[in-house]
Structure 1
């Protein structure tokens, strides 16, 4: 089997206009992979991208100050996502649940306490829409693995209507 072309994955986030660069990036990564005997590492990609003439150069933040800030923001997101709340009720076992969920409001993305977000119609819909999109992205990523065929067929039965609260 041979590669016929390159494009960026759905949902990949790059600077505006980067979509047109997918072919050049894919071809360059393929050249690097061959150069390194079939193996491609992030270190090799970064080393190549340091050069101004590399088609990969513009995909990286080269200001160390801004790169450090972006990395710390990513660490903060990871920290928020890692926290689990332990809820207790009398005469019931404790329940562990993700403490915060991401609310993807276009003008102001943020995190909210999970049970509060799920109790509000607008934020509940946002969280469920994001979860459904992630589920479908997982399905798309692994749909060719026979070992997950039964799970894929279950995912196929899920749609947005099935995620609406029962009235």
Structure 2
């Protein structure tokens, strides 16, 4: 064992990421799920692949089993819905105004209104206060999640300082 590996931090527990969403899953114990995935990783070459997880989860006794849809018809429908969401997110609108360069931006933005989540054209969503607030809050939350993921990279320290200033301005506008 190298000195580097010897001094590496040890996992002391597991949690589900904030905002994590699952298709199904009635297994609230993140520690059990995490320990099981660690066992799989150690079993399979020190790496964890989605195929390894799926193979294990097919066993009804696996703590991962309930996180998957096993009815093939419903699983196909859910997969197609995920593909549809991906397609919607992939469409870029090309805008041209007189005397301005062409601009490209996402055509649609997700509006997660309770009971009626949907997508709207970005310009329309940003022109209505209620949906504008939803878009900005979602963008800020996603940025904060990205920031949390990369908080230890000193190369982004300046970006985080600027983001804090922007965050303060957004809070003042509310």
Per-residue deviation at 1:35? Answer: 0.7
Match of 1:128 in 2: 136
Alignment root-mean-square deviation, CA: 1.9
Separation of aligned partners in 1, 2:158 and 2:169? 21
The residue aligned with 1:142 is 150
Counterpart of 1:31 (choices 26, 39, 46) is 39
Deviates more, 1:8-17 or 1:130-139: 8-17
Shift of 1:160: 6.1
Shift of 1:31: 0.5
Give the TM-score normalised by the residue count of structure 1. 0.91
Specify every segment of 5 or more residues in structure 2 that has no aligned partner in the other structure, as ranges.
1-8
Q: For residue 153 of structure 1, what is the aligned residue in structure 2?
A: 161
* Secondary structure at the counterpart of residue 52 of structure 2: helix
Of structures 1 and 2, the one with the larger relative CO (CA 8 A, separation 6+) is: 2
Q: How many residues align?
A: 165
Q: CA 1:27–1:16 in 2, change beyond 3 Å: closer, same or farther?
A: closer
